[in-house]
Amino acid sequence: FVAPLLKRYGFGATFFVTEGLGYQGNEQHWITWEEIRKLHEMGFEIGNHTGSHPNLAQLSKEEIIAEVKQIERACEEHGVPKPTTLGYPGGFHDHKSVEALDERGYLFARRGRYPEYPVNIHGGRGPVYDPQLDHPLLVPAAYVWGDRGQYQDMVDMVDLARDGKIAVFVFHGVPDFYPHCSTAPVVFERFLKYLHDQGCTVIALRDLAKYIDPARRPADPYEPIRRRLVTPVQLKCEYAVNPLGVDVAQPRFSWILESSERGQIQSAYRILVTSNKQNLKLGTAD
């Protein structure tokens, strides 16, 4: 159902493959490697979803590499090209998983909504991908469809895919064995028609390399994420006299903190105050 529908609209897509979700005894819910190879032959990307679908943040870098290699070997054995993209199992990631994928030559890796939005197995909206800011091995999901998904929310995220930004949409089975991440075929078909009618370009994750340079990346992979989590706005430096009556004006700094949808009741932020650009580059306050 999914692949023919995508082909009908001329859309690309990435199918992330794992061997570790425990379908033993429920073979009717499997997709076989022969079927996976057929998807490749139809022009779709086969991405890596690790061998056993673990939380990569709980593994060592060596264990992460072993998980990644398991699917790479299976692809080679079944006539499928080595993956160049990965979908983080459960959307979980950390510095060592980024390092492991970089060492294995991966171009892009798709995470979920976390950490900008709380972990929620029922899906929901997340950030759009900004290639000018985000690390290509930490591509956020703009929307993960789940059993509590709101169609209009998903449509709203399409409107944010402009000015160089990219909306990545994540679906599991259509429908899925697990109800919390299942997508009704009628919802999936309706969404594809909407994308087609809006004239959207719909591609596999690997094909982002045709539009952006995956070698362009921030020195710290997580700096853009931290910036989204808590962002200072309306920074001001106003000079005022001391309330005690001293006539020397003193600088008074103020700002407002904006945070993502995480329900924080407190935030902390540190600012550096310096008198020239050279000190700013050095991170030196004076």
User: Got the DSSP string for 100-138?
Assistant: HHHHTT-SEEE--STTTS---TT-EE-PPB-TTTS-TTS
- What distance in Å separates the CA atoms of residue 111 and residue 88, rounded to the nearest whole number? 5
Strands 124-125 and 143-144: antiparallel
Residues 6+ apart with CB under 8 A from 157: 125, 128, 142, 143, 167, 169
> For the whole model, what pTM was predicted?
0.83
Task: Quote the CA–CA distance of 115 and 123 in Å, as a whole number.
Answer: 14
Instruction: Locate 33 and state its tokens.
Output: 């490697």
- Written as tens digits, the pLDDT of the chain (286 aa) is 999 999 999 999 999 999 987 655 666 668 899 999 999 999 999 999 999 999 999 999 999 999 999 999 999 999 999 999 999 999 999 999 999 999 999 999 999 998 988 888 888 999 999 999 999 999 999 999 998 889 999 999 999 999 999 999 999 989 888 889 889 999 999 999 999 999 999 999 999 999 999 999 999 999 999 888 877 788 888 877 666 556 677 777 888 877 766 655 566 667 778 888 888 878 888 8
The verdict on domain 2-221 having CATH code 3.20.20.370 is yes
List of residues 6+ apart from 158 with CB closer than 8 A: 167, 194, 195, 198, 200
Q: Can you read off the two tokens belonging to residue 94?
A: 């950390």
Helix (H) or strand (E) holding 282: helix 277-282
Tokens of 256: 């407002």
CA nearest 183: which of 263, 122, 110? 122
Range(s) of the chain covered by CATH 3.20.20.370: 2-221
Task: Give buried/exposed letters for 101-117 (b at 16+ CB in 10 A, else e).
Answer: bbebebbbbbbbbbbbb
